[in-house]
Structure 1
Amino acid sequence: MTPTSWTKYRANWNEGSDAAAELVPALAEHGIVLLDGLHGPHDLLQLARAVAEIVPHRDSDAAGITTIADMGGHVRSGFAGFTARALQPHTDRSGVADPPALLMMSCGQPAASGGECVVIDGKLVYDDLAEFDTEALTALCTARSVLFGGAAGHLGSVFTRIGDHIAVRLRLDELAQFSPEVARRLPTLRAALDRHATTFRLDAGHGYILDNYRWIHGRRAFTGERVMFRIAGNPLPNLGLTAGFRPHHTNKREQEGQIA
C-alpha cells in the first residue's frame, strides 16, 4: 500500500466539518490517514480533540502538543527526536504499560533536505513472518522477552495479542533490551521492516494520524530547520475504534495458547 492509496483528509475548520465522521472509517480500515490543511499546532489540536482523549507526553506543553525540532548539543538516550539524525522505526511510548493508541503529526516547516517520514504497517510485517518465518514470529510474540524503555520501563513482547487483535510495540535503540532468542531474530525482523517500509515527505500544513498499535514510524536524517508538531491520545469511546490489527495468518503456537 502506497501513500496515494491512503485516504487524505483536508481540514476545513471554517465549514465546521465533522472530522470524526470523515476520518474514522479510513482509520479503522487502514490504520493511517494523511492530513492536509493543518496550519499550525492549533489546527492539529482541534483535530485531535475531535477524535481522541489527549494523553500528555513528557515533552508536551499543557495542551498535549510536542514541538519536535533539532535542539543541537548533547542528546540523552530517548531524545533522538530532537536531533537532525535519522530515527529508527519505533512505536510511541513503548516503555509504558499502555501506550496511547493514536499518534497525530503535522509539519510546521519542512527540512531543507531529507527528513522524509518512514512508516511500516505492523500487520504486513506480522503476516510476512507468519507465512515465511514462524520461528522468528514465535520469538517476537513471546511474553516478557523485551525490556522497553530502560530499567523502569515495560517488560513485554514485540507482538502481543489483545482480544482478537494484535498490537505491535517496538524500539530498536539503546533503550530496548532483547532476550537472546529475540536478539537472534532481529536481522529477520529488520529485513521484514525494510520490505514493508513506505517513505513520504510532508510539506507545511501536511501531516498524518496513525494507529500506534499497528503502525511503526521513523524518519530520515535531515538538514535545515525542520519543525513538526505531535499529539498522542486514545480514540473517543463513541467512535468504536479498536487499536491494533487482525492478522491474516495465525501463529500456530499462539493458537495453541503458548504465546501471551
Structure 2
Amino acid sequence: MSDSVTEEFKKDRLETLEVDDELRLLWRSGEISRFNFIWLRDNARDAKNFDARSHQRRVYTAGLDPEIRPESARLESAGVCIKWPDMTDEVSYPVSFLHQYGFDQPSVQEVVETWGADLEAPKMAYSTLRDRQGFLLESIRRYGMAIISGCPKEPAAVTEIAERLGYIRQTIFGDVWSFEADAARDDSAYSTEGLRPHTDGSFSFDPPGIQILLCLENVASGAESILVDGFHVAAALCRDQSDVFNDLCEIPITGIYKGDGVLLRADHPVFRVKDGRVCQVCFNNYDRDIMRLPDEQMLRMYQGIRVVDSMFNDRANQWRYTLAAGEALVFDNWRVLHGRTAYKGRRK
C-alpha cells in the first residue's frame, strides 16, 4: 500500500475528537475509543519520551502528574496532536497507534489443538530445517511437540535445532548434554527404570521451555517415549471436576533437586492460568519436596495429585513412540509432560 493510499485510509477512519475528563475518538465505523490522560502521556512515542531504536521508555513515569490534562488537543490527518503542560513541543499520536490501543485488548486466542493417545505427530526432516522452520514453530505452538528425523547422531544437531527456536539456556546439567544409564548419577533419568509423565525443572523458578531429546543410539528393548498433553488433561479436569482443577491452580507445590552437590527448591501450582486459559503445566511427583500445609489444604492437594496424576498415567491420554537413532523429539515443557517405559540394553 502506497503512502498516499495509506494516508487516505487513515483520514477515512477517524471522524471527531472530544476532550473532557478523558480523550474520546469517534471512528467512521461508529466505534468510540476512550483514553485516560495519564496513559496517553506515559505512552508518548516522541523522541524525548521513547527510544524507538531500543524500544525503551525514556519518560520518568513516577514523575508525571497523575492528574495531568492536555493544554490542547487537535485532530489532523495523521492522527491526534496533544500539547502537554510539562512539555514544550506537541506530541503526535498516529492513527494506527490510536486504533491499535483504542479498544479493549482481548488476549490473542491462538489455535491450540489438544490431543491424547491418537495424536498424529507432526514430523519433518532435519535436512529441511532451514526451509521449514515455520512448520516446526507452528507445530510446537499448535500441538506442543514435533519429531525431527534424519538428524546427525551428535549433540551438535541439538544445538542446531535449538538455535532455530531461541537461545540455549544454561542449567545445572549444562546447556546441551548427553545421558544414558549411569548408576553413579543422582537422577532417575540416568536409570533404566520406567519414568511416569512429568515436566522438568519444577525445582526452578523458571522451568525450561522447549526441550529437545535426540536419540543417538538405541539398541534396547522397551524405552518407548511417552508424551501427555497437559492442556488436554487440564481441560477435561476443569470440565469434569472443577473444584479439583481450581485447587491445582491455587495450591503451590514445592519441587526440589538435591544431588551432585546441588540443592534447588521452587514452588509452582500444577496449572498456571492467564486470561482464563492454562498457560503452564508444572508437575513432577519424583521431585516433589516434603511439604507441610494446613490440614484442609494438604488433603485437597493430595486429592488433586491423585486425580491429575491418574489422568497423566491413563493410556488414553498418552502418546507413545519409540525413537530411532537420529530422531529428535521437540516439545514444550510448559505444556507437554514426558516419560518413558523401562528398557533393557543400551540407549543414548
TM-score between both structures, scaled by the size of structure 2: 0.58
State the Cα distance separating 1:25 from its structure 2 match.
Answer: 1.4
State the Cα distance separating 1:191 from its structure 2 match.
Answer: 2.1
Residue 320 of structure 2 is aligned to residue 199 of structure 1? yes
Structure 2: distance between partners of 1:208 and 1:3: 17
Residue 262 of structure 2 is aligned to residue 148 of structure 1? no
Structure 1: distance between partners of 2:118 and 2:329: 11
Q: 8 Å contact 1:33–1:210 — kept in the other structure?
A: yes
State the aligned residue count: 218
Residue 113 of structure 2 is aligned to residue 5 of structure 1? no
1:117 alignment partner in structure 2? 225
* CA RMSD of superposed structures (Å): 2.0
Match of 2:301 among 166, 176, 182: 182
Residue 269 of structure 2 is aligned to residue 157 of structure 1? yes
Match of 1:70 among 167, 181, 192: 181
Is the alpha carbon distance of 1:184 and 1:165 closer, same or farther for their aligned partners in structure 2, counting shifts above 3 Å? closer
State the Cα distance separating 1:177 from its structure 2 match.
Answer: 4.2
Residue 146 of structure 2 is aligned to residue 33 of structure 1? yes
State the Cα distance separating 1:165 from its structure 2 match.
Answer: 4.6
Letter in 1 for 2:134: A
Is the alpha carbon distance of 1:162 and 1:4 closer, same or farther for their aligned partners in structure 2, counting shifts above 3 Å? closer
Unaligned runs of 5+ in 1: 228-260
State the Cα distance separating 1:72 from its structure 2 match.
Answer: 2.4
State the Cα distance separating 1:90 from its structure 2 match.
Answer: 1.3
Letter in 1 for 2:230: G
Structure 2: distance between partners of 1:148 and 1:28: 26
1:226 alignment partner in structure 2? 347
Letter in 2 for 1:193: F
Residue 331 of structure 2 is aligned to residue 210 of structure 1? yes
Residue 166 of structure 2 is aligned to residue 52 of structure 1? yes
Identify the range of structure 1 (97-106 vs 20-29) with the bigger mean alpha-carbon deviation: 20-29
Is the alpha carbon distance of 1:223 and 1:10 closer, same or farther for their aligned partners in structure 2, counting shifts above 3 Å? same
What is the SS of the residue equivalent to 2:136?
A: helix
Identify the range of structure 1 (212-221 vs 3-12) with the bigger mean alpha-carbon deviation: 3-12
Match of 1:88 among 180, 189, 196: 196
Letter in 2 for 1:182: M
Structure 1: distance between partners of 2:226 and 2:218: 15
State the Cα distance separating 1:88 from its structure 2 match.
Answer: 2.3
Structure 1: distance between partners of 2:145 and 2:264: 30
Aligned-pair identity in percent equals 20
2:42 alignment partner in structure 1? none
Structure 1: distance between partners of 2:137 and 2:149: 16
